[in-house]
Amino acid sequence: MTPGSEAALPGGPPAPPRRPTARAARPEPSREPRAVPGRGLRGFVGESVAELKKVEWPTQAQLIQGVVVVLIACVIVGLFLYACDLIFKRLVQDVFL
């Protein structure tokens, strides 16, 4: 038997009465208007354009800096993978072949 079970053990004290569990409150329905069915693709595109107008786009200098950082990171990772490939290729040839 696990703690909190309703049955009492023979010869032991009676089981405590079970307390009623509180029910979770039902969430209130949203006051926001529901999406109108049938707006479909036109509504999606309109909302997407509205959201894109809110975006703070990077300046040209920020964009160039970001591209340079990504290219440098790619070169570093590529060189690391190339070095690992050379090391493991040599190891496999010497040990297993």
Query: Tens digits of per-residue pLDDT, 16-68?
Result: 777 777 676 677 767 766 665 667 888 899 999 999 999 999 999 999 999 99
Q: Give me the pLDDT at residue 93, please.
A: 92
* pTM for the structure as a whole: 0.48
Whole domain around residue 69: which residue ranges? 59-97
pLDDT per residue over 59-90, tens digit each? Answer: 999 999 999 999 999 999 999 999 999 999 99
- Say if 48 falls within a structural domain: no
CA distances from 56 to 11, 51, 52, 65, 82 (A): 74, 11, 9, 17, 38
- Say if 25 falls within a structural domain: no
Number of other residues whose CB lies within 10 A of the CB of residue 44 = 10
Provide the 3-class DSSP secondary structure of residue 71: helix
Q: Give me the pLDDT at residue 1, please.
A: 54
Number of domains in the chain: 1
Are the C-beta atoms of residues 8 and 15 closer than 8 Å to each other? yes
